[in-house]
Protein backbone atom coordinates (compact mmCIF):
# COMPACT_ATOMS: atom_id res chain seq x y z
CA UNK A 1 0.00 0.00 0.00
CA UNK A 2 1.33 3.47 -0.80
CA UNK A 3 0.47 4.58 2.74
CA UNK A 4 3.01 2.06 4.09
CA UNK A 5 5.68 3.88 2.11
CA UNK A 6 4.82 7.03 4.06
CA UNK A 7 4.67 5.20 7.40
CA UNK A 8 8.29 4.16 6.92
CA UNK A 9 9.49 7.59 5.75
CA UNK A 10 7.59 9.44 8.48
CA UNK A 11 8.99 7.15 11.18
CA UNK A 12 12.56 7.96 10.18
CA UNK A 13 11.87 11.65 9.54
CA UNK A 14 10.32 12.07 13.00
CA UNK A 15 13.26 10.47 14.82
CA UNK A 16 16.79 11.65 15.39
CA UNK A 17 19.42 9.57 13.56
CA UNK A 18 20.73 8.16 16.85
CA UNK A 19 17.34 6.40 17.20
CA UNK A 20 17.27 4.88 13.69
CA UNK A 21 18.35 1.46 14.96
CA UNK A 22 15.27 1.36 17.23
CA UNK A 23 13.03 2.84 14.52
CA UNK A 24 14.16 0.10 12.13
CA UNK A 25 13.41 -2.60 14.70
CA UNK A 26 9.99 -1.06 15.42
CA UNK A 27 9.15 -0.93 11.71
CA UNK A 28 10.25 -4.53 11.24
CA UNK A 29 8.04 -5.58 14.17
CA UNK A 30 5.04 -3.75 12.69
CA UNK A 31 5.64 -5.40 9.32
CA UNK A 32 6.09 -8.85 10.92
CA UNK A 33 2.86 -8.43 12.90
CA UNK A 34 1.03 -7.68 9.64
CA UNK A 35 -0.76 -4.76 11.30
CA UNK A 36 0.34 -2.82 8.24
CA UNK A 37 0.19 -4.83 5.04
CA UNK A 38 3.51 -4.17 3.42
CA UNK A 39 4.51 -5.51 0.03
CA UNK A 40 7.99 -6.94 -0.58
CA UNK A 41 9.40 -3.91 -2.42
CA UNK A 42 8.29 -1.58 0.35
CA UNK A 43 9.72 -3.94 2.98
CA UNK A 44 13.08 -3.55 1.26
CA UNK A 45 13.28 -0.06 2.79
CA UNK A 46 13.96 -1.60 6.23
CA UNK A 47 16.11 -4.56 5.15
CA UNK A 48 19.76 -4.76 6.05
CA UNK A 49 21.51 -2.54 8.56
CA UNK A 50 19.61 0.41 9.98
CA UNK A 51 20.27 3.67 8.14
CA UNK A 52 22.59 6.17 9.83
CA UNK A 53 21.12 9.37 8.33
CA UNK A 54 17.92 10.59 6.71
CA UNK A 55 19.95 10.99 3.52
CA UNK A 56 20.61 7.23 3.59
CA UNK A 57 16.87 6.65 3.96
CA UNK A 58 16.33 8.93 0.95
CA UNK A 59 18.83 6.87 -1.05
CA UNK A 60 16.87 3.73 -0.20
CA UNK A 61 13.77 5.42 -1.59
CA UNK A 62 15.69 6.51 -4.69
CA UNK A 63 16.77 2.92 -5.22
CA UNK A 64 13.21 1.66 -4.75
CA UNK A 65 11.81 4.15 -7.25
CA UNK A 66 14.65 3.44 -9.71
CA UNK A 67 13.66 -0.23 -9.56
CA UNK A 68 10.10 0.76 -10.45
CA UNK A 69 11.31 2.97 -13.31
CA UNK A 70 13.39 0.11 -14.76
CA UNK A 71 10.43 -2.29 -14.45
CA UNK A 72 8.21 0.24 -16.25
CA UNK A 73 10.68 0.76 -19.10
CA UNK A 74 11.05 -3.01 -19.50
CA UNK A 75 7.27 -3.37 -19.43
CA UNK A 76 6.86 -0.85 -22.26
CA UNK A 77 9.61 -2.59 -24.26
CA UNK A 78 7.88 -5.98 -23.85
CA UNK A 79 4.70 -4.41 -25.22
CA UNK A 80 6.69 -2.88 -28.08
CA UNK A 81 5.77 0.66 -26.99
CA UNK A 82 8.01 3.71 -26.81
CA UNK A 83 5.84 5.79 -24.53
CA UNK A 84 3.12 5.48 -21.92
CA UNK A 85 0.83 7.49 -24.20
CA UNK A 86 0.78 4.51 -26.59
CA UNK A 87 -0.86 2.25 -23.97
CA UNK A 88 -4.43 1.19 -24.56
CA UNK A 89 -6.93 0.20 -21.85
CA UNK A 90 -6.42 -3.42 -22.93
CA UNK A 91 -2.70 -3.28 -22.09
CA UNK A 92 -1.98 -4.65 -18.65
CA UNK A 93 -0.07 -2.58 -16.14
CA UNK A 94 2.74 -3.51 -13.78
CA UNK A 95 2.02 -5.80 -10.82
CA UNK A 96 -0.09 -3.99 -8.24
CA UNK A 97 2.66 -2.89 -5.82
CA UNK A 98 4.88 -1.68 -8.63
CA UNK A 99 2.01 0.19 -10.28
CA UNK A 100 1.04 1.87 -6.98
CA UNK A 101 4.62 3.00 -6.38
CA UNK A 102 4.93 4.19 -9.99
CA UNK A 103 1.73 6.18 -9.55
CA UNK A 104 3.19 7.88 -6.45
CA UNK A 105 6.16 9.10 -8.47
CA UNK A 106 4.39 10.13 -11.67
CA UNK A 107 0.91 11.14 -10.57
CA UNK A 108 0.76 11.31 -6.82
CA UNK A 109 2.42 12.76 -3.77
CA UNK A 110 6.01 12.54 -5.05
CA UNK A 111 5.27 13.93 -8.50
CA UNK A 112 7.69 16.85 -8.57
CA UNK A 113 7.51 17.08 -12.40
CA UNK A 114 3.74 17.60 -12.02
CA UNK A 115 4.30 20.91 -10.20
CA UNK A 116 4.89 24.26 -11.83
CA UNK A 117 8.26 25.83 -11.07
CA UNK A 118 6.96 28.14 -8.35
CA UNK A 119 5.29 25.27 -6.46
CA UNK A 120 8.34 23.06 -6.90
CA UNK A 121 10.64 25.71 -5.46
CA UNK A 122 8.53 25.89 -2.30
CA UNK A 123 9.86 22.40 -1.54
CA UNK A 124 13.52 23.48 -1.70
CA UNK A 125 15.52 24.11 1.45
CA UNK A 126 16.37 27.78 2.19
CA UNK A 127 20.03 27.40 1.21
CA UNK A 128 19.01 26.05 -2.22
CA UNK A 129 16.63 28.97 -2.72
CA UNK A 130 19.41 31.41 -1.80
CA UNK A 131 21.73 29.76 -4.32
CA UNK A 132 19.06 29.88 -7.03
CA UNK A 133 18.53 33.60 -6.34
CA UNK A 134 22.29 34.20 -6.62
CA UNK A 135 22.48 32.31 -9.90
CA UNK A 136 19.46 34.12 -11.34
CA UNK A 137 21.02 37.47 -10.39
CA UNK A 138 24.26 36.38 -12.09
CA UNK A 139 22.37 35.43 -15.26
CA UNK A 140 20.62 38.81 -15.28
CA UNK A 141 23.95 40.60 -14.75
CA UNK A 142 25.58 38.67 -17.60
CA UNK A 143 22.64 39.26 -19.92
CA UNK A 144 22.69 42.99 -19.16
CA UNK A 145 26.46 43.19 -19.80
CA UNK A 146 26.46 41.16 -23.00
CA UNK A 147 26.12 42.69 -26.45
CA UNK A 148 22.73 42.46 -28.09
CA UNK A 149 21.93 39.23 -29.87
CA UNK A 150 22.77 39.28 -33.56
CA UNK A 151 19.84 39.60 -35.93
CA UNK A 152 18.53 36.34 -37.27
CA UNK A 153 19.15 35.54 -40.90
CA UNK A 154 17.71 32.98 -43.21
CA UNK A 155 19.09 31.51 -46.39
CA UNK A 156 17.24 29.53 -48.99
CA UNK A 157 19.03 27.17 -51.34
Which DSSP string corresponds to 79-115? TT-SSGGG--TTS--S-HHHHHHHHHHHTSTT-GGGS
Which DSSP string corresponds to 17-39? GGGHHHHHHHHHHHHHHTSS---
One digit per residue, the tens of pLDDT, for the chain of length 157 reads 456 777 888 899 999 999 999 999 999 988 888 765 567 788 888 889 999 999 999 999 889 888 888 888 888 888 888 777 777 766 777 777 788 787 777 776 666 666 778 877 887 889 999 999 999 999 999 999 999 888 877 778 7
Give 128's contacts (C-beta < 8 A, 6+ positions apart). Answer: none
Verdict on whether the full-model pTM lies above 0.75: no
Q: Domain spans of the chain?
A: 2-113, 115-145
Q: How far from chain centre, in Å, is Cα 106?
A: 9
The 8-class DSSP code of residue 45 comes to: G
Amino acid sequence: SPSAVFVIWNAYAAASPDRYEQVTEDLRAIIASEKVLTAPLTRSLVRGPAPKTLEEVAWRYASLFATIEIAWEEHLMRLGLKDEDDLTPADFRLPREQEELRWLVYSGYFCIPCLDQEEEEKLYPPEALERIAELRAEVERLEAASPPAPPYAMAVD
